[in-house]
Each structure stands twice: as structure tokens, then as C-alpha cells.
Structure 1
Amino acid sequence: MSALSTVLELVRAPAALTVLGDTMAGAHAAALPFGPRRWLLPVASVFLYSGGMALNDYADRTLDAVERPERPIPSGRISPRQALAVACGCLAAGLGLAAAGGGPRALAVATPLAGAICLYNLAAKSTPAGPISMAACRGLDVLMGAGGARAALPAAGVIALHTVGLTAQSRGEVHGGTPAAARRSIAVTAATALGAALGGVVSPATGGGRADTRTVLAGLGGATGAVAYLAEALPSQMKVLAEPSAANVRTATRSGIGAMIPLQAALVARTGALAPAAALAVLDQVRRALSARRAAGDLT
């Protein structure tokens, strides 16, 4: 295996596709134009996410030697120092791209985002605050696209809610979950879908008190994205409820990570930005094709 492929495995490269829509959701919620420079923000998200994944493996290297010896560090394919260098380099690149793509306002959110990523991986992950800490990371990623604008808080909240449930669920990847944990995950997924379908709708036309065509299409697009989100996340969670084995939890976590993309598409569509929402739907198909080529993969 080449050094490049090892680094790509370290940073969970295919999963990075699921963060591209965070800043899109934030920018459209805040009604910010997504010009050429702002397209650097999704790339910034990818680097920040990748840095977090590398830092995750660096922090977990002792535990992984027992539970997941096939990972890059315990298998000896990359040293802890090299993994830490990858993490720091990706985080620094993410901050630079955030500044280039969104200016001082985006950087003002990206900086605490990088701090939250470090806090989660180095301190909070194994504590009761772990799911909330990870949710803060994804919520801040959405707000980075909005330059911290309050208008993006509902979208950030929806993404954060899904992340809370997903992170709590992932704790059963090695030793299995419980029916109670599965029920909580299903409840969070249902609440997230409802929030995506109802939140962030464009303002209706005032003439005659009826919504205009754009508003109707935005509502339909949001509902379609919410249904796609449920179709991706819910079936595997139901299997965990029936049999909370570690293998089923890993599958549900993988599906939950992928479900981020239709969730982002729903949030973007509800703002009336149907073309970007459709682009995210295409991205989801790319993600599915890649997932089909790697039936078993590393997750958290």
C-alpha cells in the first residue's frame, strides 16, 4: 500500500464528501452569494474534517492497537508523529482556505471550529459530553459557510441534532449497542427529518396570501431531501433495534454519515436554492457508488 493511500485511509477520505454541503447549507440559509471564492469553504471543511480524522487516530493509537490493529498507526504503516503532522497540516490548511473563501467572518468561525475538533479528539470523545462536542463541530461548520450569521442557526441546529444521535450511536461500533440506545437514535433521526422538512423555508409571496411557485418548489425539495435522509438512515437503525450487534451498529453509523448529504440537500432546497440542492443529490449518488466499492470500512 502506498504512502498516499495510507494517508487517505487515515483521514477517511470517502467520508469527507459528507462535509461539502455544510457550508453550502449555511451560506444559503444566510442568503450569501456562493461565488468563486466562497467555493473554497467546502474545501476548507474537507481539510478540517480530515485533520480531525487524523487526530482521532493519533489520540486513539493505544486503544486501536487492541481494538482496531488494522488501522494505519497500529499496523505500522504510518508513525504517530507522521499522523500528528498530517492532522496539523490539514487543520492549518482548513483555516487558510476558510480565510481565503469567506474572509475574516468565516475565519472567526473556523478558528473555534478547529479548537472544537481538537477538544473532541483529545479530551471530550470518551466522556458523556462527546456527542455534544462533536455536534458543536458540525454546527460550527455550517455557520462557517454563513460567516457566523444568525440566520443559519436553524440549519446548524438540524445538522448538530443529527450529529448528536450519530455520535451516540457510534459508541456501540466495537462492543455493540442496546435497544434503548437504538430507540434514542431513531427518535433523533425522526426529529432531524422534521426539522429539515420544516425549517428555513423561503418567504411566501404576499399576493392573495398564497405561496408563490418558488416557495412551493422549495417546500417540495425540502420534503424530498428529508425523505431521502430517512431512507438512508432509518433502515439500518431499525436493524440495530432488532439486533444491536457491533456489526449492525457499524452499518448504521456508516449510513448515518452518508445521510448527512441528503440532509444538507433538504436544508439547501428549503431556502429556494434548488440547483445547489440538486448538485448535492448528485454528490450523494457519487458517495453511494464509492460506498458500494468498499462494503466494509473504517468509521470513527
Structure 2
Amino acid sequence: MLRLPALFTVPGDALTGAAAMGARPNSRTLLAIGSSLCLYEAGMALNDWADREEDAAERPHRPIPSGRIRPGAALAAAGALTAVGLALAARAGRPALAVAAPLAATVWAYDLGLKHTPAGPVAMAGARTLDLLLGAAATKGRTREALPSAALLGAHTLAVTTVSRDETQGGRPLAPLAALAATALLTHLTTRPPAGPGEAATRGLPGTTPHTAPTPSPSTAVTTSVPRPSSTPHTTASPRLRLTALSPPSSPHPTPLPPGTTLRTALALLYASTAGRPYLHATLNPSPPLTQRAVGGGIRAMIPLQAALSARSGANLTALAIAALGPLAARFAKKVSVT
């Protein structure tokens, strides 16, 4: 019921939020991660409780329809996990609680009413966006600088959730095709150098240098002799121009890539591969099995996307730590379904 493989996609939200703020993870970041994990699992339990009748017809193997878990126990677990998640956010500070409260409300609203409406994918995207901002608020007490990264992660979540609406029936290639296009766009945006308030270019993070005007090289110096008046009154001095040619300018050295560019690009390509291939397969054959694989691939792709966004913010060690969660998620996905 708790979908352990999907749980590995959660810590990267808070870590990416901290990276977007130009800060190292601290104890408050860890509290935000704990809060995110609790709220995420609360949503999983609440989802199964809300869908128990639908799952009985379409997915009888799930915990509640199969009788392994009672509906009341799932609902109680959702309530308890939500309370613990909010308590952890409160320990991280008032700014973190101010983000966690609407995050919890969004999770409950999605599972209890919005999931089967056109607003469902938007609500899920909003939850992931808030989850990243929770890490920023807990770490630094504000969120403005993390908004660009949160928007990119929210856009990916919107695409995945839209595809997931057909995972039990399939038959519509438009949703995975749109998700494939969104993945290409997000890959392009993630590989671009960061710019703007709160990004690495304005924070002096590794790989950035202040812009200075070029200094003229002495090898291009030009001297001009000024005509002197002649000492002889009847003689007119002709103006003279003397060009002093020094050694030719040396060829400029190629500008080295900023630190982290290669890592950011590699992680962005890993994201594109993880999400793009199953989206393409579902576009060509929108059957339920391939659509479910596309959803699973989109969920797992959140990990390299979070890592790429962290590397884009200049936090290379954080990016590597997040990326290390990917193999663990893939390993557990072979035993437990992500969806």
C-alpha cells in the first residue's frame, strides 16, 4: 500500500529545494524530508482507501480489495501520518509549516475529490511543487529562489499524472505524446546554465565568474606621431603617421566549462532516457501495460530530474546523493509496483 519504490523519489524534493537556495542541507532540511515522507505515505494510504471500490473491480490484488488491510486501518494510517508530517514541519520552523499545511490539504483534496476531475493533474503537480518549496522554507526560511526549480518539477509531475489517468484502460496516445514533448522541453531547460535571482549566476556558486570588460592587449597598441611645427618659418612640416606593430595577438584559449556542467548534462540526459523511452512506447502502443510502464518510468525519472536541478544550482554533492537513490528505486520496483 505504501509503494516503497516511489518513496525514494521524495527526499530529493527537499534536497533540491535546499540546493536552489544555495544552502547546504541542515537539520531543518532533514525535518522537511521526514515531513515529506510522512505526507507522501499519508497520500498513498488515503488513495487506497478512497479507491477501494474501484480497485475491487480493476485491481483486486491491492491490499484493501484483497483483504490484507482493513479500510478503517488505511484511513487511520493516513490521518496519523498527516499529523506526524505536520508536526515535523512545525519543528523545522514556521515557514516550513506554512508550506506543509497547504501541501497536506492538497494531498487530501486530491485523493478525496480532485483525482477524477480535470483539476486532478494540476493538484498533484501543485503537491510536488509545494514539497520542493518545503525543503527551501525549512532550510532558509523563504522560498522565492526555489520557484524556478519547483516549477520544472511540477511540470514533470503534471505530465506523469496526466498519463496515469489511462493506466488501467489505455487507448489514448495523446497523453504520453504530450508527456514526451514535455520531457524534451524540461531536459532542454535543465541543461541550460542557471540565470536569474537565486540561481547560481547571481550567487557566486562554483562555476560562475563576475562579468568584466575585456582589457585591451598591448599587442594591438597603435601610436600616432603628432606633427611638430617646423623651426624654419618658410618650411611646412608634413604630418607623419607611425604604426607600431608589436607581436601578433595570441589565439584565445577555449573557455573551460563551468564546474558541474558535465554532471548536470549527464543527469538531464538520464532523466530524458528514464522518462522518454516508456513515454514513446506508450505513444506507439497505448495499451494498459505500456501505459503503466510509462507512469512508472515517469515516477522514477523524478530522481534524475531532482539531481539535475540540484547540479544546475551548483550543489554537485547533493545531486550525486539524490542520483544514488535511483538504483535503489529501480531495485525495489522489481518487487513492488511503483503505481
Pick the aligned partner of 1:144 from 128, 134, 142.
134
Inter-CA distance 177–32: structure 2 relative to 1 (3 Å threshold): farther
Match of 1:98 in 2: 89
Conservation of the 8 A alpha-carbon contact between 2:8 and 2:328: no
Conservation of the 8 A alpha-carbon contact between 1:155 and 1:199: no
Q: Which amino acid aligns with 2:122?
A: I
Larger helix percent = 1
1:28-50, Cα deviation, whole Å (9 max, x unpaired): 11223411332221122111110
Match of 1:225 in 2: 267
Q: Which amino acid aligns with 1:161?
A: A
Most deviating of 154-163 and 35-44: 35-44
Conservation of the 8 A alpha-carbon contact between 2:126 and 2:154: yes
Pick the aligned partner of 1:264 from 296, 306, 319.
306
Q: Give distance in 1, aligned partners of 2:158 and 2:111.
A: 15
SS of 2:200's partner is coil
SS of 1:236's partner is helix
Conservation of the 8 A alpha-carbon contact between 1:106 and 1:144: yes
Match of 1:37 in 2: 28
Q: Give distance in 1, aligned partners of 2:64 and 2:151.
A: 34
Match of 1:122 in 2: 112
- Residue 181, structure 1, aligned to residue 175, structure 2: yes
- Residue 285, structure 1, aligned to residue 279, structure 2: no
Deviation at 1:223, TM superposition (A): 1.6
Pick the aligned partner of 2:57 from 36, 46, 66.
66
Match of 2:241 in 1: none
Deviation at 1:90, TM superposition (A): 1.1
Match of 1:274 in 2: 316
Q: Give distance in 1, aligned partners of 2:105 and 2:192.
A: 31
Conservation of the 8 A alpha-carbon contact between 2:4 and 2:338: no
Conservation of the 8 A alpha-carbon contact between 1:171 and 1:177: no
Match of 1:206 in 2: 210
Deviation at 1:149, TM superposition (A): 1.3
Q: Give distance in 1, aligned partners of 2:105 and 2:188.
A: 30
Conservation of the 8 A alpha-carbon contact between 2:5 and 2:338: no
Conservation of the 8 A alpha-carbon contact between 1:218 and 1:271: no
Most deviating of 218-227 and 123-132: 218-227
Match of 2:10 in 1: 19
Deviation at 1:11, TM superposition (A): 1.5
Deviation at 1:218, TM superposition (A): 3.0
Q: Give distance in 2, aligned partners of 1:90 and 1:70.
A: 24
Deviation at 1:189, TM superposition (A): 1.3
Larger radius of gyration: 2
Q: Give distance in 2, aligned partners of 1:115 and 1:195.
A: 30
SS of 2:28's partner is coil
Deviation at 1:221, TM superposition (A): 2.4
Q: Give distance in 1, aligned partners of 2:114 and 2:329.
A: 29
Q: Give distance in 2, aligned partners of 1:151 and 1:287.
A: 29
Q: Give distance in 2, aligned partners of 1:197 and 1:150.
A: 21
Q: Give distance in 2, aligned partners of 1:218 and 1:97.
A: 33
Inter-CA distance 178–199: structure 2 relative to 1 (3 Å threshold): farther
Deviation at 1:209, TM superposition (A): 6.8
Indicate the structure whose relative CO is greater, using CA pairs within 8 Å and at least 6 residues apart. 2
TM-score by length of 1: 0.90
Conservation of the 8 A alpha-carbon contact between 1:262 and 1:281: yes
Task: Give identity over the alignment, percent.
Answer: 41
- Residue 47, structure 1, aligned to residue 45, structure 2: no
Is there any run of 5+ residues in structure 1 with no aligned partner, and where?
A: 1-9
Conservation of the 8 A alpha-carbon contact between 1:29 and 1:155: yes
Q: Which amino acid aligns with 1:27?
A: A
Deviation at 1:152, TM superposition (A): 0.5
Q: What is the total number of aligned residue pairs between the two structures?
A: 286
Deviation at 1:182, TM superposition (A): 2.2
Inter-CA distance 226–50: structure 2 relative to 1 (3 Å threshold): same
Q: Which amino acid aligns with 1:242?
A: L
Conservation of the 8 A alpha-carbon contact between 1:44 and 1:97: yes
